């Protein structure tokens, strides 16, 4: 009898151990999370924009005559978004995170239609959508409370905690992961801020997540880290609203409080930046390009104990049924056969559209560049912009039917353009901007594209300086620059002055700055990369981890043992 009892106890003990280890294994398997991140949908309803024949913005281009600002595919937005949700439905992702700018312009009609698309997706797939608010969302005729009501099923109704002052909330995602959606937009489209009370709420949520054994994954519309090297990162901060006000302090606190990954949007580029605080805590700012702008990216993100894996995916085709009826056969053919090429070409077309508007209203260029309208540089900008646009419309190389070209302008002062397949300056400029938007950019100073761009820019300056030499001289002298119009006797001609001045400006200032944008020399990769886990496998297998597991197993055994003995 004693032997039978002993064998029974040993059997029970063995089963307990096996069950415990099975629990550990099961726990590890269920600890992961697969999510999709898509930013800046900028949806605009066809019912809202109506007949777009009344909205031709670039009449000389049949392919891009309906171009919008920032290279965004606004008229194509519904087709892109519906294709995105088809691909998301076929993925193994459990949820979708959207860090703001759901619609373009904040119109309620667009919000309501987009929310209906969201509901259809959730109903048919069982996958959850979580949204954050962007600077375009609560403007026009949509208030904060209306935004919350419209998207109540997409994060707000599932919330574990809400910030009293903003649309910030937390919600469990799955596995050991919890979302904190941080509202950083001020809804005036000019700045972003996280107030003191919201920061205290964020800190409290970080503490709660630790107690609950959850890893806090953040998303907000504006960035917390710079996405360009020195000095461009500081210039971007000075002249744009790319980041949250006091972003550096926010990043330090978030990292030290336990937020390791934060998903952002707003700047319409793909980039991942990393910061290590003085307390040796890491934070990664993962910004994703606009879904409706080249290269139409969405990210697949797999969180696990072994790491966080990022994979960039792209919209490469759309259903023409959701495109405007006014699109021409040429547009429909290009979209059907080369959607990515169409999207990339839209970037160059938008640059042309913007410069044309600046040439018509030079004061808008002064305002765009945030220059003091009473300054000398503002006067020069007003005089230069019409000339810059005129020369920018020339072909790059000698072309029959055109009186001039960048190549001929360069030859007039002894310059030579490297050979390439680019035909227009706007195509070349669009290549640079779209490459930066796509991420992992690497256009070096030695590349054909960079040398061509700088030579074209130099030629444009030489042409545009004609007749404003003294204005340029006055500006240069005000900054104590060494090459001035007062040296005209040395140069021997106005052309030599214009050439020398343009060359100096390009080599001393413009070239070093642009290469900081076109070469991503910061780790990690922007697109396909595996980054550290919140708690790595090595850390979990440390002595303290296994000691705690042994204690837990022993406790579980004796609990079951006494339950059997005294039941």
The answer to whether residue 356 scores a pLDDT higher than 80 is yes
Question: At 266, which CATH number?
Answer: 3.60.21.10
Query: Which tokens belong to 304?
Result: 């696990």
The answer to whether residue 62 is domain-embedded is yes
Residues 312 and 374 in one domain: no
Residues 22 and 36 in one domain: no
Whether the ω angle into residue 295 lies within 30 degrees of 0, i.e. cis, is yes
- Three-state DSSP at 264 gives strand
The answer to whether residue 350 is domain-embedded is no
pLDDT at position 121 is 99
Contact 385, 358 (CB under 8 A): yes
Helix axes 494-504, 448-464, angle to 10 degrees: 140
Q: How confident is the model at residue 20 (pLDDT cuts 50, 70, 90)?
A: very low
Q: What would the mean pLDDT of 530-558 be, rounded to a whole number?
A: 65
pLDDT tens for residues 478-495? 655 555 555 544 444 677
Query: Which tokens belong to 137?
Result: 């969302």
Q: Count of CB atoms within 10 A of residue 539's CB?
A: 12
Residues 452 and 468 in one domain: yes
| Listed residue (391, 430, 466, 409) closest to 417, CA to CA | 409
Q: Give all strands of the β-sheet with 161-162 in edge-to-edge order.
A: 161-162, 169-174, 177-181, 215-219, 261-264, 282-287, 271-276
Phi, psi of 298, deg, nearest 5 = -135, 150
The answer to whether residue 461 is domain-embedded is yes
Residues 302 and 374 in one domain: no
Residues 270 and 368 in one domain: no
Q: Evaluate the CA torsion angle 203, 207, 209, 210 in order and state its sign.
A: positive
Q: What is the domain extent for residue 270?
A: 31-326+522-531
| Listed residue (11, 7, 8) closest to 19, CA to CA | 11
| Number of domain units in the chain | 3
pLDDT at position 203 is 98
Query: Which tokens belong to 79?
Result: 């087709």
Q: How confident is the model at residue 54 (pLDDT cuts 50, 70, 90)?
A: confident
Q: Give all strands of the β-sheet with 529-531 in edge-to-edge order.
A: 128-132, 95-99, 33-37, 297-304, 307-314, 529-531
Residues 541 and 512 in one domain: no
pLDDT at position 188 is 54
Distance CA 63, CA 61 (A): 5
The answer to whether residue 35 scores a pLDDT higher than 70 is yes
pLDDT at position 256 is 97
**Strand pairing category for 297-304 and 261-264:** unpaired
pLDDT tens for residues 422-455? 999 999 999 999 999 999 999 998 999 999 999 9
Least confident of 14-23, 249-258, 472-481: 14-23
Look over the chain and give the mean of its residue pLDDT values, rounded to a whole number: 86
Q: What would the mean pLDDT of 397-408 be, rounded to a whole number?
A: 94
Q: What would the mean pLDDT of 244-266 be, rounded to a whole number?
A: 95
The answer to whether residue 159 is domain-embedded is yes
Task: Please report where in the chains the tokens 């020399």 appear, as a residue.
Answer: 521
The answer to whether residue 189 is domain-embedded is yes
| Listed residue (79, 82, 40, 119) closest to 299, CA to CA | 40
pLDDT at position 538 is 47
The answer to whether residue 449 is domain-embedded is yes
Residues 97 and 40 in one domain: yes
Residues 417 and 306 in one domain: no
- Three-state DSSP at 415 gives coil
Q: What would the mean pLDDT of 151-164 be, rounded to a whole number?
A: 97
Q: What would the mean pLDDT of 176-197 be, rounded to a whole number?
A: 83
The answer to whether residue 565 scores a pLDDT higher than 50 is yes
pLDDT tens for residues 316-350? 999 999 999 999 999 999 999 999 999 999 999 99
pLDDT at position 15 is 47
The more confidently predicted of residues 19 and 71 is 71
Q: Count of CB atoms within 10 A of residue 567's CB?
A: 5
Residues 125 and 17 in one domain: no
Q: What would the mean pLDDT of 537-550 be, rounded to a whole number?
A: 54
Residues 152 and 301 in one domain: yes
What's the first-to-final CA gap in the chain, in angstroms? 19
Residues 267 and 389 in one domain: no
The answer to whether residue 221 scores a pLDDT higher than 90 is yes
pLDDT at position 483 is 54
Whether the ω angle into residue 524 lies within 30 degrees of 0, i.e. cis, is yes
DSSP labels, 495-563: HHHHHHHHHHIIIIIIHHHHHHHHB--SSS-SSSEEE--SS-HHHHTSHHHHHHHHHHHHHHHHHHHHH
Residues 111 and 238 in one domain: yes
**Strand pairing category for 271-276 and 282-287:** antiparallel
The answer to whether residue 78 is domain-embedded is yes
Contact 140, 61 (CB under 8 A): no
The answer to whether residue 415 scores a pLDDT higher than 50 is yes
The answer to whether residue 430 is domain-embedded is no
Q: Count of CB atoms within 10 A of residue 433's CB?
A: 21
Task: Please report where in the chains the tokens 């060359």 appear, as a residue.
Answer: 503
The answer to whether residue 34 scores a pLDDT higher than 60 is yes
pLDDT at position 355 is 94
Query: Which tokens belong to 541?
Result: 């297998």
Contact 294, 340 (CB under 8 A): yes
Distance CA 315, CA 87 (A): 9
């Amino acid at each position: 009898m004693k032997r039978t009892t002993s064998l029974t106890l040993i059997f029970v003990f063995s089963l307990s151990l096996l069950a415990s280890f099975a629990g550990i294994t099961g726990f590890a398997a269920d600890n992961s999370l697969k999510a999709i991140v898509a930013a800046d949908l900028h949806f605009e309803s066809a019912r809202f924009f109506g007949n777009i024949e009344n909205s031709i913005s670039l009449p000389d281009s049949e392919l891009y005559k309906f171009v919008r600002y920032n290279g965004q595919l606004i008229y194509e937005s519904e087709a892109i978004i519906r294709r995105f949700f088809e691909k998301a439905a076929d993925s193994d992702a459990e949820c979708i995170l959207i860090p703001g700018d759901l619609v373009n312009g904040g119109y309620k009609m667009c919000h309501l239609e987009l929310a209906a698309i969201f509901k259809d997706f959730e109903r048919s797939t069982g996958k959850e959508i979580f949204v954050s608010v962007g600077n375009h969302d609560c403007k026009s005729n949509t208030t904060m409370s209306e935004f919350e009501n419209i998207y109540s099923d997409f994060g707000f109704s599932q919330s574990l905690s809400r910030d009293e002052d903003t649309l910030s909330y937390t919600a469990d995602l799955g596995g050991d992961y919890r979302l904190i959606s941080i509202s950083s937009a001020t809804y005036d489209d000019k700045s972003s801020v996280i107030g003191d009370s919201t920061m205290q709420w964020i800190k409290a949520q970080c503490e709660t997540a630790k107690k609950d054994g959850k890893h806090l994954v953040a998303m907000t519309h504006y960035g917390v880290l710079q996405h360009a090297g020195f000095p461009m990162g500081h210039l971007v901060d000075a002249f744009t609203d790319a980041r949250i006000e006091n972003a550096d302090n926010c990043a330090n606190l978030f990292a030290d409080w336990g937020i390791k990954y934060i998903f952002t949007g707003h700047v319409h580029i793909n980039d991942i930046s990393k910061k290590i605080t003085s307390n040796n805590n890491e934070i990664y700012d993962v910004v994703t390009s606009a879904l409706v702008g080249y290269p139409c990216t969405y990210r697949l993100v797999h969180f696990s104990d072994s790491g966080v894996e990022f994979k960039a995916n792209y919209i490469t085709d759309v259903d023409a049924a959701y495109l405007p009826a006014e699109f021409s056969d040429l547009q429909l053919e290009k979209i059907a056969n080369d959607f990515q090429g169409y999207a990339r070409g839209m970037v160059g077309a938008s640059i042309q559209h913007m410069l044309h508007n600046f040439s018509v209203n030079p004061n808008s260029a002064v305002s765009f560049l945030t220059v003091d309208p009473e300054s000398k540089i503002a006067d020069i900008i007003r005089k230069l912009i019409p000339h810059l646009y005129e020369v920018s419309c020339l072909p790059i190389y000698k072309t029959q039917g055109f009186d001039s070209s960048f190549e001929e302008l360069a030859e007039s002062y002894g310059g030579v353009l490297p050979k390439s397949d680019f035909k227009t300056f706007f195509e070349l400029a669009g290549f640079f901007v779209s490459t930066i938007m796509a991420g992992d950019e690497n256009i070096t100073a030695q590349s054909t594209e960079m040398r061509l761009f700088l030579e074209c820019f130099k030629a444009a300056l030489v042409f545009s300086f004609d007749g404003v030499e003294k204005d340029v001289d006055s500006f240069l002298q005000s900054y104590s620059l060494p090459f001035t119009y007062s040296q005209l006797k040395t140069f021997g001609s106005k052309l030599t002055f214009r050439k020398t001045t343009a060359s100096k400006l390009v080599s001393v200032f413009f070239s070093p700055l642009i290469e900081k944008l076109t070469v991503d020399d910061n780790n990690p990769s922007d697109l396909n990369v595996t980054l550290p886990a919140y708690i790595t496998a090595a850390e979990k297998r440390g002595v303290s981890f296994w000691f705690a597991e042994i204690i837990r197993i022993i406790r579980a055994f004796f609990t079951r043992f006494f339950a059997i003995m005294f039941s």
